[in-house]
Amino acid sequence: MDREGILFVVSAPSGAGKTSLCRDVLGQDAGLRFSISHTTRPPRGEEKDGKDYFFIDEATFKEKCDRGDFIEWAKVHGQYYGTAEEGLRKWIAEGIDVLLDIDTQGALILKERFEGAVYIYILPPSFDVLKQRLIGRGSDSKEEIARRLQKAHDEIREYHQYHYLIINKEYEAAKQTLYAVILAERARIGQANLKWVEDRFIHRFEDA
């Protein structure tokens, strides 16, 4: 079917399991591509430049920002993150579905600039679980955990701006729900499949 790609924007507070959910759904669907963001934060663990992020320094980030390369960008936990516009629009124009893992500030900016995207918010099942998951990572200081909780508080208030809410209580169920959203959005009636039905069926009836 000749259609534009769909942009899926996924946000969540830290500790909601978003990174794993996105990675697993991307792994099960060859028609879905991950938009690799630019960031000034250093790589963590096994992260690779050009795969998880494009890791760049602050001067390069600012240059790109000034040139208008980013469709959205935000400062998150003291580091800059941005989504390059050109590659994203190219994929969408080519009919490729794209998954974007960005924070709420970025998602709300994007909403103004990109019509037709699908906004998905992921939450853990409770505040206590959120806190536990943040502490459980073990890699961050008390101040960092407090900062993340404050950011989570600010972000969660915006959940109603998203189209879908997925509660990550049981991982497999959350993964299936995320994938179900993607499949359902692909099947949504829109310009592309209307034309497809017209050409293949409606006109054929008229010609018969």
Among 88, 101, 122, 124, binds ligand 5GP (CB under 6 A): 101
Kindly indicate which of the ranges 21-29, 70-78, 141-149, 160-168 contains the residues binding ligand 5GP, using the contact rule CB under 6 A.
Answer: 70-78
SS3 30: coil
CA pair distance 193, 181, nearest whole angstrom: 18
Does the protein bind ligand 5GP through residue 72 (CB under 6 A)? yes
**Mode of pairing for the β-strands spanning 79-84 and 118-123:** unpaired
Does the protein bind ligand 5GP through residue 97 (CB under 6 A)? no
Contacts of 22 (CB under 8 A, 6+ apart): 10, 34, 99, 101, 178
| 162 neighbors 121 (Cβ within 8 angstroms) | yes
SS3 14: coil
Contacts of 87 (CB under 8 A, 6+ apart): 35
Total number of residues binding ligand 5GP (CB under 6 A)?
A: 13
Our CB check for ligand 5GP shows the closer of 76 and 99 to be: 76
Our CB check for ligand 5GP shows the closer of 4 and 85 to be: 85
Does the protein bind ligand 5GP through residue 133 (CB under 6 A)? no
Does the protein bind ligand 5GP through residue 7 (CB under 6 A)? no
SS3 64: helix
Does the protein bind ligand 5GP through residue 120 (CB under 6 A)? no
Q: Which residues inside 146-175 make contact with ligand 5GP, applying CB under 6 A?
A: none
Here's the x/- map for ligand 5GP, 18-57, by CB under 6 A: it reads as -------------------x---x----------------
Place of tokens 């830290």: 14
CA 3, distance to chain mean position in Å, is 20
CA pair distance 194, 138, nearest whole angstrom: 51
Kindly indicate which of the ranges 81-89, 114-122, 165-173, 183-191 contains the residues binding ligand 5GP, using the contact rule CB under 6 A.
Answer: 81-89
Which residues are at the interface with ligand 5GP (CB under 6 A)? 37, 41, 72, 74, 76, 81-83, 101-103, 105-106
